[in-house]
Structures are given as structure tokens and as C-alpha cells.
Chain A
Amino acid sequence: MSRDEVNVVWLGSPTFPKAAHDALQDDQLRRNLKHATTTIRDKRLRAVAELDDWETLRLAGSQIKDRVMRHLDTYLLQLEASVTAAGGVVHWAEDAREAKQIVSDLVRAMGATEVVKIKSMATQEIGLNEELDDDGIEATETDLAELIVQLNHDRPSHILVPAIHRNRSEIRDIFRREMGKHGVPAPDDLTDEPRALAEAARVHLREKFLRAKVAISGANFACADTGTVGVVESEGNGRMCLTLPETLITVMGIEKVLPSFSDLEVFLQLLPRSSTAERMNPYTSLWTGVTPGDGPQEFHLILLDNGRTKTLADTAGRSALHCIRCSACLNVCPVYERTGGRSYGSVYPGPIGAVLTPQLVGIGTSDHADSLPFASTLCGACYDACPVRIDIPEMLVHLRAKVVDAHRGGLPKPEALAMKGARMVFGSPRRLAWAERLGAIGGRVAGIGGGRWLPGPAKKWTGARDVPVPARESFRAWWRKAGRR
């Protein structure tokens, strides 16, 4: 698959176990992650506990999303009509390449060479900033964490807190080193106090807000009945982008559509509590087309597919599209907590990334994507945290089966042979009893003299864990000998 078709995955990403290896060696990263995820986890539990109808809200969210997926075509056409009637322009983009082309053409038609951006997963997914850069357009991320990542030529590692892997002193160094190259420099005596860091970013960005003619955003929701598009954020930078420039371009995944304006009631409660553990996010901006004399006078909405209709076709996998990008699943995931977001090699990390990425890029197309459904212990914490009840563990297992089936045929790998062997043994109680006796003898021989360092694939177990030695007598044998029935 070429880079143009799908950009969800970072080029050349290694498989998850390989990428995790590097992350696990980084003690600073693990400390930063542990601190950040533990804090937000506890806050989320408190925020959720305040509502006595939380489970009902989750159910409502899940059912609305179910309905959206069943009638996606209807709602999208309705959205197009509503947005057009309100003075906006709707564009359809089948893949990343098309979406980027549309944005680039619009910006160039404005004669603009710089744009301000609101934090958006969809534009990251298609690699928009890089494309604009190639076309001589400088895009500035205005979300504080995105700015940190952008200035450091880094990759985001969290959906909501992209710079979660960086601490304050690292951020101060990045600001001092990079800000001057792109605009107002950071003060020479910048400290790592949060207030000082925020102020440096504010001064740096203010100049860009006031100058930019074009803003680019994503969308958290779009209501089919009214054509209203919405963005929720915490810093107010988004509102600057949404109100000051002359032109607003929004790139939105097609799954973000909601049937009606009143559905916002559900999602505006679910999202902030799940993501930032707030009762309500500080800034909720809703706009419907254009309003003469108020805000951007030109509004373009780009509806992005990029693998989504393919995902929709699998009824057991499609609920990955229900995701509202709150990142609660990342914050509770024990695997994410140890390995960080960049190990997932995609703009969508964590549990949701492990089910969404392989579907967007296609199972069986790369070792990287195929390794993601296995990057979980199936502990289930993500399902409990998900505000729209996406059963991530169940979907992981579903996708594992698709990965295994995609690789059936040809020379079987050791794992496939082991699975077939085990299946044969379990095929009859007699074979099992026979294998048990053999295993008891072999296991005890291997266990003699503290021989608990097994060779071959078993080394992956015995590198850090002793193996239990098979019992002299299995339960089955004991039962039979005791003459029980």
C-alpha cells in the first residue's frame, strides 16, 4: 500500500514487540507515563462517579453510534444538504491523498502561505502538515501539546495529550531551541514553571492567530439535521482559530456524524468526563455554515473516508468507528502505560489504536498492523472505561482471528504448528492423558538441577519467570486412581 493511500501508520514502523523494546528501556518515559496516566485515571473515576446515570449515558452513546453506522449513507447525505443550505461547501475525500489535495488547493486559492491549526486527529491521520509544507505552506499547531510535538519534530504519543511523554524541563528546552526559528522566540530566561511555559506559547501563537487568513480544524461532531459542526477543547486556542480567520477548513472522518443536534446532549456529557475528567470542557464551539459579518466567511467541510467504509463492512469490527477519541482507554491500559503511544506506530495508539489502525490499513497488509491486535493482555480495563462501550477485547480477538486466517496456507510458523499440536492433543481425553504422562516425565527431567532456563521459544518465558514443573500425577490420574466417578 502506498503512502498516498493511507497515512494512518508511520512509515517503516516496526512490529509492536520491537517498538516496545525501545520504549521499555526508557526509564524517564515510563516514569512520565505512569505519573500522567495514574493521575488522569483517578480523576476520571471521580468525575464519572458524580453522575448517577453514567451507565445509561454510555448505553445511549453506544446506541446512537450503532444507529449512525447502520445508516451512515443517509446521515452523510443529510449533513451535506444541511451544511450546503447554511452556506458551507462540502467535499468528499476517498483517501488521504484526495483530502490533502483539496485542502492544499483551497489554501493556495486564498493566496495564503500559512495556516493555523486546531488539534485534530483526522489531519494527523492524513499527514496534512507534511503535505502543506511540501506545497510551501507553513501550518502551525496551536494546541499547546501539539505545538511542543511539532516544534520538536516529534511524534505524538497520546490522542489527547500528545506530549505526555515529555516533562516540563524537556519542554522548556524545546521552546528555547525552536520557537525563534518559526516566529516569536521564547524568553532567554524561560523557566520550566507551567505558567511561564504557557505564557511563552501564548505570545508565540498570538502573532500567528492575528495574521492567519486560513484555519484548519477537525470535528468532534457534526449534526446531520442542522449541519452544525462542533469542536471541544481546553485552551481557547481553537476558538481563536474558529473565529479570527477568513476561511475555515474542517477535515472530518465520516464516522463523526450524529443524527441530530439533540444527540449532543449525550456526547457533551460523555466526552469531557472520559477524556480530561472534567464536568464540561472549557470551550465548546459550534458553528453552522457561515454567518455574514461574524466569524469565517468561507467554510469548507471535507468528509474523509480513508479506510472507514471498509471498516464499516465488517459488522464485528465496525464499532471501532464509534470511538469519540476521548483516550480513556489509553489511560487505563497497562500495556500503553509501559510502552507509550509511539510503540503503536500510528496516530491512533493504545487499545483503540490496536483495533482501529489494522482495520483502516487492512489486515494482512503489513507485519506492523498485524502485530497490533496482539498488543494486549485482554484485561478488559479499556472496555469498562469506554464511554460508548466499545468492546475492545472482543474486537481484538476477532481481529487476531483475521490475522491468523490471512496467514494460513504456505509453510506454517512454529506457533501455528504448536496450536495444531495442542488441538490434536485436546481432541481426545485419551490423547491428553497420554500427553500428560509424557509431559510429567519430560518436565521433571528438564526441571532436574534447577534447569529452569529453557531453550528456543520457551526462552521468552524463562528469561524472567520460572516454569512450574508438571506434577508427578495429574488431577485426572489421581481421580481415576482414587476410584472416584
Chain B
Amino acid sequence: MRIALFIACYNDVLFPDTGKAVTAVLERLGHTVEFPMAQTCCGQMHYNTGYRREADSLVGAFNDAFRGYDAIVTPSGSCGGHVRHHHKTETAPNVYEFSEFLVDVLDVTDVGAYYPHRVTYHPTCHSLRLLRVGDKPLRLLRAVEGIELVELPEAESCCGFGGTFAMKNSETSVAMLQDKMDNVRKTGAPTLCASDNSCLMHIGGGLSRIKSGVRTLHLAEILAATR
């Protein structure tokens, strides 16, 4: 199977470790992955903010970059959801969010990870309601050796990020963030995990500002950890 990495532009710049972790897990499972250098951005930010013309002009380039692969794997549920739902191209149906790809396509839940820490998991809205990944990320986490998973209260409540919403309606966004952070701290877990760095950038930015001591980590980075 020819697997392409769709890292998503903000991961490329801000969270390169996530891409490296995805690569490590897939290679550990015996697969060869490629990173099509021509990829830039799926256009979700433009699309969701109403700049549809600008968004549409990025679709063709995305399709060209990823043409010919059997599977296109992304660590961003949000970007993956956008491509699958809004790109009307031949590549769109082959896009998989990382946890979906592991569980549905590769049929694995135990990826040989070791992470002996207390972790709580936030299911991000687009993974949950756009891609319907269900409990796949949790099944992957439960199979991690040494992990202590604690349930996040009101887990399925949105964290308040919402792309440009975080700026346009920053006060409402921060009020939602506040409640999410309170719930995270209630768990006593030092690590908050999610399968989307965009939400984690928002929650993590808040947790760092209040010096909570809680770190945020993408699912792929936990799955990449070994003894």
C-alpha cells in the first residue's frame, strides 16, 4: 500500500514532532510512508471563515499532490474531515485520520507503545462529529503499556477553539476554554491528549498561561513512545 503523509500546514510549522511521531508509528508497523513535498494547505481555514473562492483554489493543488496514493494519512481530524467532506476530488475518499487508519485500515489497536503516565483524553469535535471516529483513539490509548487513562468530565464539550472563532469571538472562546481547563485539572492528569493539534494549541496555550503544569500531547506522540 502506498501511504502518503498529509501533515497539515500548521503541524508542519508549529508541531513537526507530531509528523515525526506518525512516521515512526507507521514505520514501526512495517509500512513505508511518503511525504509529497508539493502539499501545502487543504484550505479549511479559508473555507470555514467564508473565503470559499480562496479555499477552492487550493483544492486542485491538494489533489495533484496526493494523486496516486492508496491512503492519505493525517494527524489532524479537522483537516481530514474537511478534505473528505468538501473536496470533491478523486483523492478525498482516500484521506484517513491517523486513528481511523490504524484501526479501520491496518486493523491494529496495539501499536507497541509504552507510556507509563496518567493521561486524559479530549475527543475533538471534528474527529467526533465530522469523521465519526468514535472510540478509536481511546481503543488505541487503552492498548498502550503502562498508561493510566482517566476520564475527562464533559469530554465531548467543545474547547472553544473553532479556528478563526478563537479570534472573532475571543471572549466566548476563552469562557469555553476555562471550563475545559477546569475539567482537565479535575482529572489530576499531567498529560492531556487529543488527536488534533489545533484544539491542543488552544487548550495548551491556556494551560500554559495559567502555569497549570499540564502538558498537551498529540495521540501520535503517545503511540510513538516506546520503552
Contact = CB atoms under 8 A, between A and B. Distances in A.
Whether A associates with B in a native complex is yes
Contact of A428 (B7, B40, B163): B40
Nearest to A477: B16
Contacts of A383: 129
B135 to A, nearest CB: 16
Contacts, number: 189
B35 A484 contact: yes
Interface size class of B (residues with CB under 8 A): 35 or more
B199 to A, nearest CB: 10
A380 B172 contact: no
A460 B166 CA distance: 8
Interface in B59-101: 61
B35 A464 contact: no
Interface stretch (B138-146, B174-182, B219-227): B174-182
A439 B13 contact: yes
A203 interface: no
Nearest to B19: A475
Interface stretch (A72-80, A167-175, A331-339): A331-339
Contact of B130 (A375, A380, A404, A478): A380
A403 interface: yes
Contact of A16 (B48, B130, B169, B208): B169
A338 B37 contact: no
B125 A380 contact: yes
A464 B174 contact: yes
Interface stretch (A236-244, A291-299, A465-473): A465-473
B222 to A, nearest CB: 18
SS class of chain A's interface: helix, strand, loop or mixed?
helix
Contacts of A478: 16, 19-20
B34 interface: yes
Nearest to A400: B50
Interface string B197-213: 00001101110110000
Interface string A370-384: 000111111111011
Contacts of B20: 475, 478
B158 A334 contact: yes
Interface stretch (A99-107, A149-157, A418-426): A418-426
Contact of A20 (B130, B169, B202): B169
Interface string A381-404: 101100000000000010011111
A288 B177 CA distance: 51
B39 interface: yes
Interface string A406-447: 000000000110011011011111001000100110000000
B114 interface: no
Contacts of B156: 381
Residue of A21, A335, A440 most packed against chain B (CB within 10 A): A335
A24 interface: yes
Interface of B: 7, 9, 11-17, 19-20, 34-35, 37-41, 43, 45-52, 54, 57-58, 61, 125-126, 128-130, 156-158, 160-177, 201-202, 204-206, 208-209
29 contacts: A20-B169, A21-B171, A334-B158, A335-B169, A374-B169, A377-B158, A379-B162, A380-B130, A383-B129, A403-B50, A419-B45, A419-B51, A422-B46, A423-B54, A423-B57, A426-B41, A427-B40, A429-B37, A429-B40, A461-B205, A464-B170, A464-B206, A465-B208, A466-B205, A471-B16, A471-B17, A476-B7, A478-B19, A478-B20
Given A423-B51, A475-B11, 6 more contacts: A17-B169, A378-B162, A402-B50, A415-B164, A432-B9, A468-B205
The 10 tightest CB contacts between A and B, nearest first, are A377-B162, A465-B205, A400-B50, A380-B129, A404-B50, A379-B158, A475-B16, A379-B125, A426-B41, A475-B19
